[in-house]
Structure 1
Amino acid sequence: MFVIEVIPLASLPPQVPQLLSYFFSKPLLKGSVVEILIGNRRTPAVVVSSVSLEEEKASLKKSSFQLKKLSAVISEVPFVSNRQFRIAVWLSRNYFTPLGLCLKTVLPSFFLKKNYKLQITNYKSENNQKSETIKPIVLLSRAKDTIKTVETEIKKTLRKKKQVLVVVPEISMVGYFYDVLASHYETTVIHSKISSKKLYQNWLSISSGDTEVLIGTRLALFAPFLSLGLVIIEDPANEAYRSDMSPKYNALDLAAEVTRTYSAQLTMISGIPSMDEYYKIKSGLHYIRNDLKDLKPADVSISNMLEEMKKGNFSVFSQESKRQIIKYAKSRKKILIFSSRKGYFGSLVCENCSFTFKCPNCSIPFRLHKSPESLFICHRCSAVQKPPDSCPNCRSYKLRPVGFPGSQRLEEELNQILSNNSLKADIFVFDSSSIKTSKSEDEMLKNMEESNSSICIATQLIFSHRYSKKFDLILIPNLDSLTTVPDFRSEEHLFYQFAKILDFEPESIVIQTYNSESPLISKLVSNNYDEFYDQELPVRKIFWYPPFARLIKLSFRHPEHSKATYETRITSEKLKMAIAQMKLGESVKILDPSPAFVEKEKGLYTHNIILKIMPEQKADEILRFVPSGWIIDVDPKNIL
């Protein structure tokens, strides 16, 4: 008889053992798949080790539990490789997530499905390979020059009979890279929208080494490469690289672990480095290579909207913006109006009593949309209501829209400007309200390309197409709205967005703001990110923010406000006591519990506890005191 240790492909609480032991009549290879019973539920599990019962007899006598027999063997042939085990363990330890859930994330969606057989062909060779850490490269490049910039590295890697992985943040960007690279190399694609059958075919092609270049979203990092030599991360600061589902991993950190596993080169490409990358470059942990080509700088003008209001201009466009729109529309040139909001206006308010119409399921105001009739839409839970004719609080009919204008409002004013000047132009609204499918997105892009005179009103959705699209004039109607989120990274994100705007290679840019004297704007316009970073880094060091400390957001959700408040307060005190008892005050800080920025969402109240942990401190020493039922988000997108 043999004791078989397995990882169940299920989510066990992280505080309990993640390996379960069973007995079986014969040993099973690591990576083979069995079926076990957890309660009365049949669950697949992956074998980690097999040990003779004689060797384990002494420890089993001391144990308080009785071994059960394996329910069934699904496959004696290993389906899971050592590298997949290693990445799953890394995910579990780094993000304090159940090991079974991490292993399930690493495995493909067709795993254990009928007619999709897997076999690890290079299992023994994996055991003999040693991991080597190669210093990552931060490569600065314009979006339209990205492929030319990395082509030399791709050719060099392929000459060594190694494979190349290109990771992009969004599916819409895959096509651009595929169209160029597939004409030269054996290229495969992986993302969440391809079918299980196609994924299976691609999976086999990658594991056999037939695929030379793989292009995909963060899912491609789990592919079974035969010999990976280069990982290219496009736009590494993009928030789409952070998973919203458990395990809440950051694809950039995962890419670094994958390259260590394969002893491959990691190259990150962007217009400007992130602040974390900038710090690592200055610390000698990353190389930097500047391949930015000198382009004719755009003519940037700043419109002070406070001065516009003093002059009686209450339009969403300044006089300078109107002049530029008329000038470029007459010349039939391409115009982009970068909108920070979709919809019509931020919300609707009663002028008499200041009553704000809020979503009943969420603690935020409804957004006002026109489609074509007026509608209230909640951008959190998607609830829809028709606006009333009068205020429910004071019965006043004086209701007016307030807040930042959205795409629909910009389109309305734009039509008025064109009409007043007898101009004609095709107006395209490029946001998630107008574009529901990839097909509709492609159709709109095609129509924009074929139009003789077009004006595009777009949210950041347009950034996925900066590799191929060009605009002659770009307007930013409200720069201030891009930094309204009270998060410590909001100004840093503004630099990323402006760098992407420059990728469209405009002749002119008009920036509208209510704070034209801000020193941030002058640094932004001159692309002087290094001065901003040098001023920001000492502040982050003082207050324990990345890259000097890790942030962990602990969130508790409950339908009752009092229960959410009570549970958060109790857990906070428990963690403070644990930190004091273990004398970790020099390496761990805990912020007092607080409601989330959007306290109520989809009927649930959310309260947060923020932990700041020094890099050398093991997070699991603290997180093991967090009760089950909490959401643990390591290195979160924000701390709101």
Structure 2
Amino acid sequence: MYVMMDSSASSTIPAPPKPAGSFCAGARVRVVLALPVGAGYDYRVAAGMTLSVGDFVKAPFGKRRLVGVVWGTATGDVAEEKVKDVAAIMPTPAMPGEQRRFLEWVAAYTLSPLGAVLKMALSVPEALEPPRESLVYVLNARSRWPEAPRLSPARRRIIALLDDAPAMRAADISHEAGCSASVLRGLVQAGIVRGYAAPVPERTFAVPDPDRPAPALNPDQRRGADVLAERTAADAFSVVVVDGVTGSGKTEVYFEAIAAALRRGRQVLVLLPEIALGAQWLRRFEARFAAAPAQWHSDLSAARRRETWRAVADGRARVVVGARSALFLPFCDLGLIVIDEEHDSAFKQEEGVIYHARDMAVVRGRIGGFPVIPVSATPSLETLVNIESGRYEQIALPTRHGDALLPDVGLIDMRKERPGAQKWISTELREAVARTLAAGEQALLFLNRRGYAPLTLCRTCGHRMQCPGCSAWLVEHRSRKRLLCHHCGFSMARPVRCPACDDEDTMVACGPGVERLAEEAREIFPDARIALASSDTLTGPQAAFDLVRRIEDHAVDIVIGTQVVAKGYHFALLTLVGVIDGDVGLMGGDLRAGERTYQLLSQVSGRAGRAARAGRVLMQTYLPDHPVMTALVNGDRAAFLSAEKDGRRATHMPPYGRLVALIVSGRDARTVDAMAQRLARSAPSSKTIQVLGPAPAPMAFLRGRHRRRLLLKARKEVRVQTVVAAWLRSAPAMAGVRVQIDVDPMSFF
């Protein structure tokens, strides 16, 4: 992200809305509705109603009543007889001015309708409604319990939950306790739990204690923590990057900034790329602050999302940890944002409003006038260039905490190794794992491919199983006995006969996924306790927590996983990391392929030897001389990044230039091609701007839609939003065709 931090940044951020006071009955106001169209509609303030800018309202739209926000004075472009009355005011705090300004900025930067951005901020419409009366359940007084109640583990979980919570609805009890509704009914019948109709009480969010004794910090950590605490206490915008090797204790350092914000009564947002990373993080936070933070992610129940949204809006939730969408929560007094693993591509939203949460977090801090702290062992090239230019500060943590040392990294040249037919673990890696297990330690085998095999084909005719709605091969998931598309979710049973030649029992799995790797590891190490970790198995925070606990308790000998276990975890007995296919991310023409592979392999390497025992990393590769592999073996990040920057600078590629992708898609290929050609004919061109394409997108058919791509490449000083907006006006969209804009694309699928 570049515009925000340029010397001319102030001109790219809209001025704060002028105080508008109140709008009395009969006045006309502009209401932005949570719709992916338009920048607002004129409405009249109804009789007996007074509105202010930021109020949440319901307004008629066709035959529906939709939620929106009063944004200011009406445009006046609508005839009086066509203006409708606002239907109702929602009983919730008004949207703060900072958030409205932030939503406007995001809309302008991403070239998205303001209503589409507002829809992200109103992801829980029921949070705007008053609590409804519902049947809720509480524990009966223990004196009314049967003398010897039968308490199964599921019943005990419900009792423990209700013993430490206000009255709860049946659905929420089942979700939180992980049991069926019949268990709750049994407790009611036994007289242990009773139900009654009442408004569901607001959830209590514990207040973290910033003055609780903190762990001892080493000198580097202490200096970094002091800088962060000072910047946080200053209540001014700054960006301070915590750049520390894996295991250097970055989390404890930025915890001191969180403590400083809490002492000043401010709210804090911590962004994590994947909530699966939060299992150990949550325990560390609670140990440091004697309270759990509020969480925000897709696995929360609807009731919990409503409670959290309202608690953020009224200030009861002091610290929130969440995925990228947490950035759009209605914080009433936000004073600090931390972006952990800031380099991670999961911070990029690729659907709907396309944005990068790391970059938008910096914008949010600038608008709110508070610090932003990106954190990583492998910062993105964009972040490093901002450090070099002086836009960002840097805190360096070059050594691991305590006595731990960085692991030794070695390469296994697979051009010389021959593991055998349909085998993927080399002899050297097998022997290393055997020695590790014999020493009572743990090993991690890393392969960034989900499922059993990435391709299924017919031995007779060569037919490959492809998704009917995407340009993608179906991935076999043997545990489910299904073939799945990882792009659109299409699923089918593995065929017994080839769909093309009708031969029976000729379909074979090609290549390894983590399930197949686990199968091989069980054959080699039949007595080892093996755990599989991927997004298919870690389906929520509880599953991640359970796996972490098993690994920490040494109930697991070998972990086999994808990138979900590559970063953020600390396991004292994990001393060996084996990378099965280190080259998997280097194929293709992705601008960031080398950078991403270096980051991923550095992160997974960092899981080894994080405590007193020395760590070792072995990477299987067919490209041992590749600059990424050389840098990893030599521990020379600076040399790799210098070469990467030189290549980007010479070609004016990000972060030394600007890119905007236009994806044209539709059900009819001919119409899509016609629209793409229309855009090509009206494309801007100058000494500072070049348009490439149209060409079929690498994923040319996705979810039943044909896709073509144009790529605008510009010098860094070009205001690409202005250029692209004018370009789109000169080539109006055709019926049945969608043109999606991706400013600063991170991937090119």
TM-score (structure 1 length as normaliser): 0.85
Contact 1:35 1:70 (C-alpha < 8 Å) held by counterparts: no
* Equivalent position of 1:123 in the other structure: none
Cα distance between partner residues in 2 of 1:398 and 1:534: 50
The SS at the match of 2:661 is strand
Cα deviation, 1:89-113, whole Å, max 9, x if unaligned, reads: 0111011111112123224613432
C-alpha change, 1:318 and 1:114, in structure 2 (3 Å) is same
* Equivalent position of 2:699 in the other structure: 598
* Equivalent position of 2:34 in the other structure: 9
Residue 459 of structure 1 and its aligned partner are, at CA, apart by 0.9
* Equivalent position of 1:377 in the other structure: 484
* Equivalent position of 1:448 in the other structure: 551
Contact 1:466 1:500 (C-alpha < 8 Å) held by counterparts: no
Cα distance between partner residues in 1 of 2:695 and 2:264: 54
* Equivalent position of 1:622 in the other structure: 724
Verify: 1:416 aligned to 2:523, yes or no: yes
Cα deviation, 1:58-88, whole Å, max 9, x if unaligned, reads: x76xx88964132524259862221221111
Q: Give the counterpart of 1:406 among 513, 523, 529.
A: 513
* Equivalent position of 1:124 in the other structure: none
Contact 2:442 2:576 (C-alpha < 8 Å) held by counterparts: yes
* Equivalent position of 2:740 in the other structure: 631
Cα distance between partner residues in 1 of 2:549 and 2:348: 30
Contact 1:335 1:474 (C-alpha < 8 Å) held by counterparts: yes
Verify: 1:88 aligned to 2:109, yes or no: no
* Equivalent position of 2:175 in the other structure: none
Residue 592 of structure 1 and its aligned partner are, at CA, apart by 0.7
Contact 2:608 2:617 (C-alpha < 8 Å) held by counterparts: no
Which amino acid letter does the alignment assign opposite residue 724 of structure 2? Answer: I
C-alpha change, 1:350 and 1:105, in structure 2 (3 Å) is closer
* Equivalent position of 2:131 in the other structure: 115
Cα deviation, 1:275-324, whole Å, max 9, x if unaligned, reads: 11111111111111112324423232211111124x97873122211211
Verify: 1:478 aligned to 2:585, yes or no: no
C-alpha change, 1:40 and 1:572, in structure 2 (3 Å) is farther
Contact 2:239 2:373 (C-alpha < 8 Å) held by counterparts: no
Q: Give the counterpart of 1:100 among 91, 115, 118.
A: 115
Cα distance between partner residues in 1 of 2:547 and 2:399: 30
Q: Give the counterpart of 1:30 among 48, 53, 67.
A: 53
The SS at the match of 1:412 is helix
Greater Cα shift, 225-234 or 508-517: 225-234
Cα distance between partner residues in 2 of 1:372 and 1:258: 43
The SS at the match of 1:284 is coil
* Equivalent position of 2:249 in the other structure: 145
Q: Give the counterpart of 2:620 among 512, 527, 540.
A: 512
Cα distance between partner residues in 2 of 1:76 and 1:391: 58
Residue 591 of structure 1 and its aligned partner are, at CA, apart by 1.0
Residue 369 of structure 1 and its aligned partner are, at CA, apart by 3.7
Cα distance between partner residues in 1 of 2:71 and 2:480: 59
Q: How does 1:200-599 map to 2 (within 5 A)?
A: 200-203=306-309, 205-206=311-312, 209=315, 211-294=317-400, 295-309=404-418, 315-350=423-458, 353-371=461-479, 375-380=482-487, 381-389=489-497, 392-393=500-501, 400-402=508-510, 404-418=511-525, 424-451=527-554, 454-463=557-566, 466-468=569-571, 470-506=573-609, 507-574=615-682, 576=683, 579-580=684-685, 585-599=686-700
C-alpha change, 1:184 and 1:519, in structure 2 (3 Å) is closer
C-alpha change, 1:158 and 1:396, in structure 2 (3 Å) is closer
Residue 446 of structure 1 and its aligned partner are, at CA, apart by 3.4
Q: Which runs of 5+ in 2 are unaligned?
A: 1-25, 133-200, 203-233, 610-614
Verify: 1:179 aligned to 2:283, yes or no: yes
C-alpha change, 1:3 and 1:440, in structure 2 (3 Å) is closer
Cα distance between partner residues in 2 of 1:151 and 1:479: 34
Q: How does 1:45-56 map to 2 (within 5 A)?
A: 45-50=68-73
Q: How many pairs are equivalent?
A: 603
* Equivalent position of 2:40 in the other structure: 19
Which amino acid letter does the alignment assign opposite residue 72 of structure 1? Answer: A
Cα distance between partner residues in 1 of 2:470 and 2:538: 25
Contact 1:474 1:509 (C-alpha < 8 Å) held by counterparts: yes
The SS at the match of 2:238 is coil
Contact 1:335 1:471 (C-alpha < 8 Å) held by counterparts: yes
Residue 475 of structure 1 and its aligned partner are, at CA, apart by 0.7
Contact 1:472 1:505 (C-alpha < 8 Å) held by counterparts: yes
Cα distance between partner residues in 1 of 2:506 and 2:305: 57
Contact 2:280 2:548 (C-alpha < 8 Å) held by counterparts: no
Which amino acid letter does the alignment assign opposite residue 641 of structure 2? Answer: Y
Percent identity over the alignment?
A: 22
Contact 1:36 1:45 (C-alpha < 8 Å) held by counterparts: yes
Cα distance between partner residues in 2 of 1:396 and 1:77: 63
Cα distance between partner residues in 2 of 1:144 and 1:137: 14
The SS at the match of 1:592 is strand
Which amino acid letter does the alignment assign opposite residue 256 of structure 1? Answer: V
Which amino acid letter does the alignment assign opposite residue 719 of structure 2? Answer: Q
Greater Cα shift, 254-263 or 524-533: 524-533
Which amino acid letter does the alignment assign opposite residue 548 of structure 2? Answer: L
* Equivalent position of 1:154 in the other structure: 258
Q: Give the counterpart of 2:712 among 604, 611, 618.
A: 611
Cα deviation, 1:18-55, whole Å, max 9, x if unaligned, reads: 1322344777321234444434433333222247xxxx
Cα deviation, 1:394-429, whole Å, max 9, x if unaligned, reads: 959766543x4112222232223235xxxx211112
Which amino acid letter does the alignment assign opposite residue 518 of structure 1? Answer: H
Cα distance between partner residues in 2 of 1:435 and 1:470: 21
Which amino acid letter does the alignment assign opposite residue 5 of structure 1? Answer: R
Residue 170 of structure 1 and its aligned partner are, at CA, apart by 1.9
Contact 2:337 2:371 (C-alpha < 8 Å) held by counterparts: yes
Residue 144 of structure 1 and its aligned partner are, at CA, apart by 6.6
Which amino acid letter does the alignment assign opposite residue 51 of structure 2? Answer: L
Contact 1:487 1:639 (C-alpha < 8 Å) held by counterparts: yes
Cα distance between partner residues in 1 of 2:92 and 2:377: 47
C-alpha change, 1:357 and 1:230, in structure 2 (3 Å) is closer
* Equivalent position of 1:190 in the other structure: 295
The SS at the match of 2:564 is helix
Contact 1:280 1:286 (C-alpha < 8 Å) held by counterparts: yes
> Which structure ranks higher in relative contact order (CA pairs < 8 Å, sequence separation ≥ 6)?
1
C-alpha change, 1:399 and 1:24, in structure 2 (3 Å) is closer
Residue 437 of structure 1 and its aligned partner are, at CA, apart by 4.3
Greater Cα shift, 32-41 or 455-464: 32-41
Cα deviation, 1:552-611, whole Å, max 9, x if unaligned, reads: 22222222333322222222223x1xx25xxxx234321111112121223222221222
